[in-house]
Amino acid sequence: MAQILVRDIEPETIKRLKDRAKQHKRSLQGEAKSILEEAAQSATWGEAMKRAKKIRESFGDKKFSDSVKLIREDRDR
């Protein structure tokens, strides 16, 4: 498995990572690894835009009611 070394991390960042690690019952290294893995699995901007476009296209030419109007009506009850 590959390794990375990150230098010059601000002390406040380390403190916050340690706090997160403690909350998740992990070591500092385990917490950093978890954060990196989650970030690497997140969709890129382009992937997210492609997915959003696909969802929009799945609705076709359907028109939806004005949700602002519905919310106002509900609040006025």
Q: What are the pLDDT digits (tens) for 36-47?
A: 999 999 889 999
As a whole number of angstroms, the distance between CA 64 and CA 59 comes to 10
pLDDT value for 12: 98
The model's pTM: 0.60
For range 65-72, the mean pLDDT? 87
**pLDDT tens digit string along 3-19?**
999 999 999 999 999 99
Q: Which residues 6+ apart lie within 8 Å of 9 measured at CB?
A: none
Judged against a pLDDT cut of 90, whether residue 22 lies above it is answered with yes
